[in-house]
Amino acid sequence: MSEFLKKHSLLAVLFSVLLLVQCDVVQPKEDDKKTSLHPVLLNGEWGYINNSGNLVIEPRYDEAREFQDGYAAVRRGTTWGYVSESTGELVISPQFSVAGDFSEDLAPAQLPGGQYGFINTNGEFVISASYDFATAFSEGFAAVRSDGLWGYVSTSGELTIPLQFSDAQPFSEKFAAVETAQGWVYIDESGNEVIKTTFRITAAGEFSNGKAAIQTSEGWGYIDNTGSPVITPEFDEAGKFAQKLAWVRNDDFIGFINADGELKIPYQFSEVRSFNEDRAAVRVSSDWFFIDKSRGIIVINEGFDAAENFNNGIARVQLGEEENARYGYINKEGEYVWYPTN
């Protein structure tokens, strides 16, 4: 057995000891949503490491997602449950066919053969399972769908905005984009159309930094919260602002603009993630790299087959594809804190 596998086998054996000494594992701050535990795949099963790359939840799940608001969905066989970030324990037993992310102490979930409702952190349905589909809560509201129409429920379970829209986006900065017969519009928390434009919006995104990406017949651009165009619709695709920059696509390549619509990082990437912690994962040809926000240049030169955003100082990367995929984590210097495993 290689020294690497010996090391991680020993860590798995010492799981109970590690749980007693994991003093560097803390609850995520609600303002930045950072998490202290991250999913890893070892010998075909998923567990979790901390920010230092130490194994703190033994690999024993068939699938494991990122933590959101202190809980992560994990799968055993065909059903999902949840583990707690603060204790590392399975606190909601696997029983759901669909398990969404927790937000505002509620998560959309579906029992096998049932409909969507919302559970609390004890796994109890506190908003009845009566919808064909449901999304996570954002700013006190969650979009729900029945018979092809969307509306919004509050955290109390009341359908505060009736089922009437063809599609619906999450609330952000007190507005939500919804699709009507006249195209996309923005509503407030009372369900009133509050952002009116003189042109038809054919697709709409969430507000961020006071701007929302929208598509018109001229292309993608941005409006402010009065509905006024602030960045001309001229892009083939556009993302939301993150850390004061937004990605935009022109023909086959993607770059980043600032709040004034100025191109700050030239069109050169095939695919990108939004900036987070002053880094963005970008794909050049078939490989993924990381660029920094201040200069827009590649700062981690090793190419990966896939890469995710940095979260609390480390980022998940992938080597290999499909059944040969191995997952690891690097720090901002490009050093492995968890060497890729499968």
- Residue 275 maps to a domain: yes
Question: pLDDT value at position 22?
Answer: 33
How many independent structural domains does the chain possess? 1
DSSP states of 73-132 as a string? EEEETTEEEEEETTT-SEEEEEEESEE---BTTBEEEE-TTS-EEEE-TTS-EEEEEEES
- Residue 233 maps to a domain: no
Locate 2 and state its tokens: 């290689």
- Residue 74 maps to a domain: no
- Residue 107 maps to a domain: no
First to last CA, the chain: 15
Residue 214 buriedness (CB in 10 A; 0-12 / 13-18 / 19+) = buried
∠ CA(319), CA(322), CA(323), 5° rounding?
A: 95
- Residue 201 maps to a domain: no
Q: How many residues does the chain have?
A: 342
- Residue 11 maps to a domain: no
Cα(225)–Cα(63) distance, rounded to whole angstroms?
40
Question: pLDDT value at position 4?
Answer: 40
Cα(70)–Cα(82) distance, rounded to whole angstroms?
10
Instruction: Please give the helix or strand (H or E) that residue 283 lies within, else none.
Output: strand 279-284
- Residue 277 maps to a domain: yes
CATH of the domain at 328: 2.40.10
- Residue 141 maps to a domain: no
Per the structure, the complete domain to which residue 305 belongs is given by: 270-342
Nearest to 95 by CA among 76, 68, 108, 71: 76
Q: What is the mean pLDDT of each run of 10 residues along the chain (342 residues)?
A: 40 34 32 78 98 97 98 98 97 98 98 98 98 98 98 98 98 98 96 92 97 98 96 98 98 98 98 98 97 96 96 97 96 97 97
